[in-house]
Structure 1
Amino acid sequence: MSSYALILDDHPLVARGAAEFLRARFPGLEVVVASRAAEFAPLVAERGAPAIALIDFWLADGASLELVAQVRTMCPGTALAVISGDDDPAVADRVRQAGAHGFIHKQAPPEVFAQAVEALLGGLAWFMPPPAQHGQPARSRDMPVTPAELGLSVRQGEVLALVLQGLPNKRIALQFDLSESTVKEHMSAILQRLGARTRVEAITQLRGRRLVLPAAPAD
């Protein structure tokens, strides 16, 4: 099984362009392109762990943070970098926290991209800030966050999700078949965890983040 580079991006033109660039810059490195997170495990089973994996942060099924964790578990020796066009520094921070070895901005010049790949293949980390936007606000999709990452229980996360939709305590209580006093207790705990005094403060704090609830168990 030969060493290879894996590019995982659901934009075919971007993926093919990056692949052709790597083949030209690193002629001894085979480059494999995939478009879905579900293709990763079968590829590893067939070909072994890649020398380097370059993964788009936003895939068709959402952010790739879970895939980052999967790569680290299945291929601990693989250099792992996440690529994104987001300008929000929080994206690079989340990527680093998830265990990636690097973050490459899609607006980076080709030479910088090559330097990043070379450094990562050499066992180094590569985290570059997004390009300066000359006063323009950062552009990013809502960052996914789970109740556990906020220090909340699953039920508190479910309550918070409805609060973010603007539902009052009475409707939340009806939704979950709870007493209104129980919902108030959940709300008090949520506000305490978030360090907020009111619902408005809690909602404001979560701007730019998308609450992701765990999947319900199958019947």
Structure 2
Amino acid sequence: MPIRVLLADDHAVMRAGFRMILESADDIEVVGEAATGVEAVAAASALHPDVVCMDVQMPDMDGLEATRRIVADPAVLSAVVIVTTFDRDDYLFTSLSAGASGFLLKNAGPEELISAVRVAAAGDALLAPEVTRRVIARFTDAEPASGAARTATPDGMPELTERENEVLQLVAQAMSNAEIAERLYIGEATVKTHVSNLLQKLGARDRVAAVVYAHRHGIA
């Protein structure tokens, strides 16, 4: 089954470019487009894409609020990747708190966009190490307000197995499942199982939340 993608951007030329890039990959299908935040929320609800590539600055409703609504809908289950021109901390932190699975700049190369969609669809890490450091610094130095930071700090310390702790430490270093598998000499499918289990125990919705949790509790 191909990865089903929804493109949300108010510029038709940008959507056309993204569509051309993504559909050059055999395993990706663009199933819809949206020019406003309102359209993005409606399209995600109707189409149930695996991944939404979301711009930030759009009319009617910005991409950050659209992301929040899509992620909050339990019937949608779409991963949202913010794709923006602006490398601004407020966009980064707000989008992650809203539940976005990653953050990508529009000047990224075609292969980076394709990789971001694949990674998000797989539930894997998406943030570059330098972005991860900014997230850690923000969410460990300030009280969490919502979203990823809140889910990353459940009441009480859950009991993780020794292997889950090892995996969490490597997740906190922004390693992918493949890199963790190579480091620990285990299969990638086994890593995915460990990641899924530890996210459930932490009450974390994604790996970003797990990274914050690890650094807040001295696990990393």
TM-score of the superposition, structure 2-length normalised? 0.52
Q: How many angstroms apart in 2 are the aligned matches of 1:44 and 1:63? A: 15
The residue correspondences of 1:3-18 to structure 2 (distance < 5 A) are 4-18=4-18
The residue correspondences of 1:47-66 to structure 2 (distance < 5 A) are 47=47, 49-61=48-60, 63-66=62-65
- Paired residue for 1:22? 22
Q: Which amino acid aligns with 2:54?
A: I
Q: CA shift at 1:44, angstroms?
A: 4.2
Q: CA shift at 1:111, angstroms?
A: 1.3
TM-score of the superposition, structure 1-length normalised? 0.52
Instruction: Give secondary structure in 2 for the equivalent of 1:32.
Output: strand
Q: Is the 8 A contact 1:19 1:32 kept in 2?
A: no
CA 1:42–1:86: 2 relative to 1, 3 Å: closer
CA 1:64–1:126: 2 relative to 1, 3 Å: same
CA RMSD in angstroms comes to 2.4
Q: Is the 8 A contact 1:103 1:126 kept in 2?
A: yes
Q: CA shift at 1:76, angstroms?
A: 5.1
Q: Per-residue CA shift, 1:23-58, capped at 9, x if unaligned?
A: 1114552431111222234434543x1111111011
**Structure 1: gaps spanning 5 or more residues:** 131-148, 150-219
Q: Which amino acid aligns with 1:9?
A: D
Number of residues paired by the alignment?
A: 129
Q: Is the 8 A contact 1:9 1:59 kept in 2?
A: yes
Q: CA shift at 1:107, angstroms?
A: 0.8
Q: How many angstroms apart in 1 are the aligned matches of 2:62 and 2:39? A: 16
The residue correspondences of 1:70-81 to structure 2 (distance < 5 A) are 70-74=69-73, 75=75, 77-81=77-81
Q: How many angstroms apart in 2 are the aligned matches of 1:117 and 1:59? A: 21
Q: Is the 8 A contact 2:51 2:79 kept in 1?
A: yes
CA 1:26–1:35: 2 relative to 1, 3 Å: farther
Identity %: 22
